[in-house]
Amino acid sequence: MAIVIQGFSGPFIGRLGPAVGYMWKRRNCVRSYREHIRYPNTAQQREERDWFVGMVRFAAEARQVLKLGLARQAAEAQMTEGNYFVMRNKQHFVRYEGSVQVDYSQLQLADGPAADVYFRTPRFEEDETVAVDFEKNGSLFHSSSEDRVYLYAYAPSLAKGLLSAPVPRRRKSVAIRLPETWNGLEVHLYGFVVDREGRPSRSTYIGMGRVDHYQYHGAFVPLNKNWSEFVDMANEANAEPHTTGPSEAPTEGRVPTIDLFGDPPEVP
């Protein structure tokens, strides 16, 4: 129902037949009424929606990287960095048997004329730090030792990414500290350079790895194939009945309950 403001022939607000009246920047405007169409939620539509949502979520999480690496191309294409990323990488998000699979090794997070570097094999160190050494690209001469080198880590199971602080090219090594909640998870690594003029290089897919240990009471526990069995054994030991009296000290060597993604519990 519409509300007429100045008589029958004056402006109105709301729906009036096939038209809708509204205010925009203190102006009375009219547009045609759009019927709401309800589409069936078919399996094909859900698959299409998951495919699109997967790309948008990755772009949203990597927005800091895309602003550094794709801003110029996006501006030339009159797009946002996220939309440009989707247009550039949509072929690497593949719909397969009702799910979406991503070829992370083919994703381009940055592209530009800056001189890139050769990234070496990443090292997953004991304190959840990932370090990558790099060398100057000998075929490119227009570079500066003060160019900034970045490292980006992405954990698919969490849909979370982390951008490192920049280091100058002359440092020849870049590192990033991962959260403890990433321990044992698959992590994909990318690297790129931004020169003194703010121009990016083409991003490089460095590889995939995982933190293979867990810090517990100052010690590093390996996250190998027996880790889940170790956690089950520890929790079962804690669940056994304990018959000590009120004045008796707790049994020494009691294994505390372990939560892989939480803070280590205190030992009584």
- Average pLDDT of each block of 10 consecutive residues along the chain (268 residues)? 56 73 75 68 80 92 96 93 95 85 95 93 86 82 85 94 95 93 89 94 94 59 55 53 46 43 45
The reported pLDDT for the residue numbered 211 is 77
pTM, two decimal places: 0.67
Q: Which among 213, 170, 211, 169 has a CA at the least distance from the CA of 191?
A: 169
Contact indicator for 189, 208 with CB cutoff of 8 Å: yes
Q: What residue ranges define each of the domains in the chain, with the CATH number in brackets?
A: 3-32 (no CATH), 43-106 (no CATH), 117-213 (2.60.40.10), 224-268 (no CATH)
The reported pLDDT for the residue numbered 262 is 44
Q: Which pair of tokens denotes residue 175?
A: 């590192």
Q: Which residues are CB-contacts of 103 (< 8 A; sequence separation ≥ 6)?
A: 92, 94
Print burial letters for 210-227: b (CB count within 10 Å at least 16), e (below 16): ebebbeeeeeeeebeeeb
CA distances from 222 to 76, 155, 212, 230, 253 (A): 49, 20, 6, 10, 20
Instruction: Provide the greatest CA pair distance for the chain.
Output: 92
Q: Which pair of tokens denotes residue 207?
A: 């590889």
Q: Which among 78, 75, 105, 76 has a CA at the least distance from the CA of 89?
A: 105
Question: What is the identity of the amino acid at 148?
Answer: R
The reported pLDDT for the residue numbered 139 is 61
The reported pLDDT for the residue numbered 29 is 79
